[in-house]
Amino acid sequence: MTSPSALPGPQAAALDLGGRTALVTGAAGGIGRACALRLAAAGARVRAVDRDAAGLAELAGHAGDLAGTVEPHVLDLTDLDAAEFVAAGTDVLVNNAGLQLVRPLEDFPPDVFHTVLTVMLEAPFRLIRGALPHMYGQGWGRIVNVSSVHGLRASPYKAAYVAAKHGLEGLSKTAALEGAAHGVTSNCVNPGYVRTPLVEKQLTDQSRAHGLPEDRVLTDVLLRDSAVKRLIEPEEVAEAVAYLCGPQASFMTGASLVLDGGWTAH
C-alpha cells in the first residue's frame, strides 16, 4: 500500500503509468478516447475496448507519439463473459462505455432498457470482477467509473440511463470498500454535459421529448441547471480520471468527483 512518504513533494512529477496496463471501455468515442490518449501519454499500455472497429483504428493512429501504447480490442460489451476475460491483468480499469435513449417511461422499449443496464452496469461489474485478482495479487489497482450527474440526480425521459448510473455509483462504492485492504481504489467521475457524439445525438431526441426546437435544447434543457454555461470537453474529464490514477489520490476512494459546472450546487 502507498505510504504518505511515497507521495510527491510540492514539485510533483507528472503522472507516470510506465509499466502499467490500463483498460478503457468505449475508447472509440468522446470521453473514452480522451482517457485512452491521456493514460497512454502517461506511459500506460492501454487496452482500448469498443465495438466500433473503425473508431479504434483511428484512435490507435493518433497514439504513435505517446510514451505508452494503445492496443485496440474490438468487443461488444453485451458479451459479458468476453468483457470479464479482457479485463484480466489490468492495473487501471476505466469503465466508460455508454449509450443513451431519451423517451418517456411509458414508451421506453424494454429491450433498450435491458441493453443500457447490461452495457453500463453489468459489464462494469464483470470487468471489475475480471480485473480484481491481478490488482489484489500485486496490492495496487485503480478503478475509475465514468458516471454522470445522472448518477446523483434524475432527469425526465432517461429512465434506463439514470437507473444504470445510480447503480454504477453503488457498484463503485462497494468495490472501494472491498478493495481498500488490497491497495485498490474505486471512484466515479460525474461530468455534466460533455461535448461528445452522445450529446450531439441527443439534441434531436430531446427536442422531440420536450417539444422544443433543436437550437433551444442546448440552452433551455442541457445547460439550464449548469452555472457555467458551456459543455465540458472530453479532455477535462480525462484529466480527472488521470488524477484518480495518481499517487495524490491514494486516499480518495468510494468518492464521486463532480465536474458539473455547478449543476448540483442548486
Q: Which range, of 10-18, 92-100, 102-110, 205-213, touches ligand NAD by CB under 6 A? A: 92-100
Which lies closer to ligand NAD via its Cβ, residue 180 or residue 218?
Answer: 218
Per the DSSP assignment, residues forming a β-bridge with 25 are 49
For residues 97 and 32, give the distance between their C-alpha atoms in angstroms, rounded to a whole number.
Answer: 7
> 124-153 b/e with 16+ CB inside 10 Å = b?
bbbbbebbbebbbeeebbbbbbbbbbbbbb
**By CB under 6 A, residue 76 contacts ligand NAD:** yes
Q: Which of 48, 60, 87, 146 binds ligand NAD (CB under 6 A)?
A: 146
Q: In DSSP terms, which residues pair with 214 in a beta bridge?
A: none
Closest to ligand NAD by CB, 35 or 184: 35
Indicate which single residue of 17, 39, 41, 55 sits in contact with ligand NAD (rule: CB under 6 A): 55
**Which range binds ligand NAD by CB under 6 A, 1-9, 12-20, 23-31, 239-247?**
23-31
The reply on whether position 261 binds ligand NAD by CB under 6 A is: no
Selected from 112, 198, 212, 252, the binder of ligand NAD by CB under 6 A is 198
Q: How far apart are the first and last CA of the chain?
A: 38
CB nearer ligand NAD, residue 12 or residue 53: 53
**Helix count and strand count (H, E) for the chain:** 9, 7
**Given candidates 15, 23, 24, 28, which one binds ligand NAD under the rule CB under 6 A?**
28
Alpha-carbon distance 168 to 101, whole Å? 18
* C-beta atoms surrounding 222 within 10 Å: 17
Shortest Å distance, C-beta 9 to ligand NAD: 34
Q: Distance (Å, rounded) from C-alpha 176 to C-alpha 174?
A: 5
Distance CA 35, CA 23 (A): 10
* Residue from 15, 23, 31, 116 in contact with ligand NAD (CB under 6 A): 31
Q: Are 92 and 39 in contact (CB under 8 A)?
A: yes
The residue (of 88 and 99) whose beta carbon lies closer to ligand NAD is 99
73 lies in the site for ligand NAD, by CB under 6 A? no
Site map (CB under 6 A) of ligand NAD, residues 164-193, x = contact: ---------------------------x-x
Question: Which of 195, 97, 89 has the alpha carbon at shortest distance from 141?
Answer: 89
Q: Which is nearer to ligand NAD, 51 or 208 (CB)?
A: 51
Identify which of residues 28 and 87 has a Cβ nearer to ligand NAD in the complex: 28
> Annotated active-site positions, please?
161
Measure the CA–CA gap between 204 and 249, rounded to whole angstroms: 39
Cell numbers representing residue 107 in the block: 414508451
Locate 116 and state its grid cell.
443500457
β-strands 141-146, 256-259: how paired?
unpaired
99 binds ligand NAD (CB under 6 A): yes
Residues that bind ligand NAD (CB under 6 A): 26, 28-32, 50-52, 55, 76-78, 96-99, 119, 146, 148, 191, 193-194, 196-199
